Structures are given as structure tokens and as C-alpha cells.
Structure 1
């Protein structure tokens, strides 16, 4: 199911206010992550959408390049977002898709 959803996102003409692609080969800047989390969350809320998508391992040409970000790093990112939002919020779900 998630692979199909990813392919739908990749088929779109461009990123949107609730869809963002980033390369993130081995890591992603926590400050930038927080800004995207906030922006995507706000846009989803304003558009009355249940989700926004921040997809790592995809370049600006919408080519899957993969990422080596570990589960440990993902948990650190989630904690960082939670620690710096009020009320404490974080990503609802993290999905790994292998293509």
C-alpha cells in the first residue's frame, strides 16, 4: 500500500504545501526538519487534510535515491520535534518503503 502511495506522489507534477521530498542520504538537519514539520502540519490543518508528507530519499527530480537514516536517527528526530513543540507533537507515523 505505501509503495503505491509513494508512486502516486512521485507521479505528481510538483511538490505541494503538504508534500515535500528531500534527499537526506545519511542524515537530515534537525532545525530544517522542525521547520518543515511545522509548515507541513500547518498547511494540512489549513486545508483540512488529515496528513502531510515529508519523504526522505527522493531528489528534486522525484527520483528515488534512497536513504541510510537509521531507526535510531528517526527516533532522535521524533524526540527533537516533540521536545520543541507545544503542546508536544511528533510524526504520527513513519513508513519505510523499499523500492
Structure 2
């Protein structure tokens, strides 16, 4: 179980790093992105491990990757939209 948690953490860091390198202009502060990637991966591993039981390391890592990617996608800002200023009152 410890190796699953370490693997999920490493997977979360790798996914966060990939998101930062590819979508840096659309993401908030990098520390938040890395923390979200790791937390999402650990949560995904926990949920998948709880659902499938012990002895299922690869599906647990797959669940960790899916939840981590979904968590990181929630941080993305829309591209190309400019903020409109409201008219002064």
C-alpha cells in the first residue's frame, strides 16, 4: 500500500508537470497545480483501492491518473476570453 501511495504521488507530480509545461499560460500558481495533481492522484488511488480491494495496483494507479487529470482540468482558465470592463456609473 505504501508503494501504491508513492506511485500515485509520483504520477500526480508527473501529470502536474506536464500540465504546467503545456498549459502554463492558462493555469494559476504552479504550487497550486502541483498540490492539486498530487492530492487528486492520492484521492483517486484511495477511492479505487477502496472499491477494488487489495491486490489491484495497476487499476488503482489508473484511477489515480484519471482523478488527478480531472482535478487538474478544473484549474484551467478559458483561453482567448478577454475581460470586459463595465461602464463607469
Fold conserved (TM > 0.5)?
Answer: no
The bucket for the TM-score relative to the shorter chain is 0.3 to 0.5
TM-score (norm 2): 0.33
**Higher helix proportion, which one?**
2
**Higher strand proportion, which one?**
1
- Higher gyration radius (CA): 2
TM-score (norm 1): 0.30
